[in-house]
């Protein structure tokens, strides 16, 4: 087995259940030492996901969600309720974090969160973007722009991080995002007024990942 970690940038929006199945399959392969894992970058079709701490009253308007036939999926990750969909970058780092050089879950999660914040500051001029350990996510002052929720087994996570590029922010109005009442949500577009391409943002994040996780080097599965 080599020491490489692959990464994939999907060109088309992916349905949630199929991506979860791919993550679980990839995790089993990593645990079985068939390879060292894959970091997936993508956008999802509309979906609401409910983490292990999610509650029914985290939905403020479930009828609106049902009218639009948006799936609501209960999953085994940390956190409460959130939305994924077009205009939001998803990062699923299905790798053995110990073999990638991280000593703890906190160190691994903080590295990715801080990488996202660094990109927002250095590449998009969002100077107040900061990762928070206390309220996990990336915040722009009092506005949340990136989210995290993971489930680990034998040092390998599924689920991951999401970053708002230019989504329909109203999708968050039907829920209490991350269990935080009156949580303000923002995006790169809201903060800068400039549209951004997913592939561009992925490139900036990967530049940092390749420094902190130096075994990342290939993209042979792109668009699968």
Residue of 97, 58, 104, 62 whose CA lies nearest to 81: 58
Full domain range(s) for residue 209: 5-218
> pTM of the full predicted structure?
0.93
CATH number at residue 172: 3.30.930.10
Predicted pLDDT at 182? 84
- For the segment 23-28, the average pLDDT, to the nearest whole number, is 97
pLDDT of 111 over the 80 cut:
yes
Task: Identify the active-site residue in 178, 198, 206, 216.
Answer: 178
pLDDT score, position 64: 86
Is the pLDDT score of 211 beyond 90? Answer: no
Q: When comparing pLDDT for 222 and 88, which is higher?
A: 88
User: Is residue 209 in some structural domain?
Assistant: yes
At residue 3, the pLDDT reads 56
pLDDT score at 140: 98
**Domain for residue 19, yes or no?**
yes
Separation CA 148–CA 91 (nearest Å)? 9
183 is catalytic: no
Asked, for residue 223, whether it belongs to a domain, the answer is no
Number of domains in the chain: 1
Is pLDDT larger for residue 129 or for residue 179? 129
- Report if residue 119 sits inside a domain: yes
pLDDT digits (tens, 9 = 90+) for 55-107: 888 888 888 898 899 999 899 887 889 999 999 999 999 999 999 999 999 99
pLDDT at 1 over 70: no
Per-residue model confidence as pLDDT tens digits over 149-195: 999 999 999 999 999 999 999 999 989 888 888 889 999 999 999 99
Q: What is the mean pLDDT of residues 218-223?
A: 49
How far is the C-alpha of 36 from the C-alpha of 29, rounded, in Å? 8
The confidence band for 139, taking pLDDT boundaries of 50, 70 and 90, is: very high
CB 78 within 8 A of CB 106: no
Domain presence at residue 11:
yes
What pLDDT is stored for residue 224 in this prediction?
42
At 2 the pLDDT is 42
> How many Å apart are CA 18 and CA 146, to the nearest integer?
23
Residue 158, domain member (yes or no): yes
Token couple for 153:
């087994």
To the nearest whole number, what is the mean pLDDT of the chain?
Answer: 91
Give domain status of residue 118, yes or no.
yes
Separation between Cα atoms, residue 125 and residue 40, nearest integer Å: 25
Residue at 224 is within a domain? no
Rg, Å, the chain Cα set: 17
pLDDT value of position 219: 52
Tokens 């050089």, located at residue = 101
């Amino acid at each position: 087995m080599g020491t490489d970690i692959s990464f994939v940038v999907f060109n088309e929006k992916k349905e949630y259940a199929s991506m979860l199945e791919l993550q679980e399959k990839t995790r089993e392969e990593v645990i079985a030492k068939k390879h060292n894992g894959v970091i997936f970058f993508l956008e999802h079709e509309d979906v609401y996901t409910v983490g292990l701490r999610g509650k029914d009253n985290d939905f403020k308007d479930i009828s609106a969600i049902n009218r639009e036939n948006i799936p609501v999926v209960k999953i085994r990750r940390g956190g409460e309720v959130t939305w994924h969909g077009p205009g939001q970058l998803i990062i699923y780092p299905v790798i053995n974090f110990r073999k990638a050089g991280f000593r703890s879950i906190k160190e691994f999660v903080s590295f990715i969160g801080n990488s996202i914040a660094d990109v927002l500051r250095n590449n998009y001029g969002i100077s107040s973007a900061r990762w928070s350990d206390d309220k996990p996510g990336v915040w722009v002052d009092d506005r949340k722009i990136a989210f995290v929720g993971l489930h680990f087994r034998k040092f390998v996570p599924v689920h991951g991080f999401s970053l708002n590029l230019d989504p329909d922010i109203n999708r968050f109005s039907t829920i209490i995002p991350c269990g935080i009442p009156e949580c303000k949500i923002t995006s790169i577009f809201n903060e800068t007024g400039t549209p951004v391409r997913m592939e561009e943002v992925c490139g900036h994040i990967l530049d940092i990942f390749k420094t902190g996780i130096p075994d990342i080097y290939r993209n042979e599965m792109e668009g699968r």
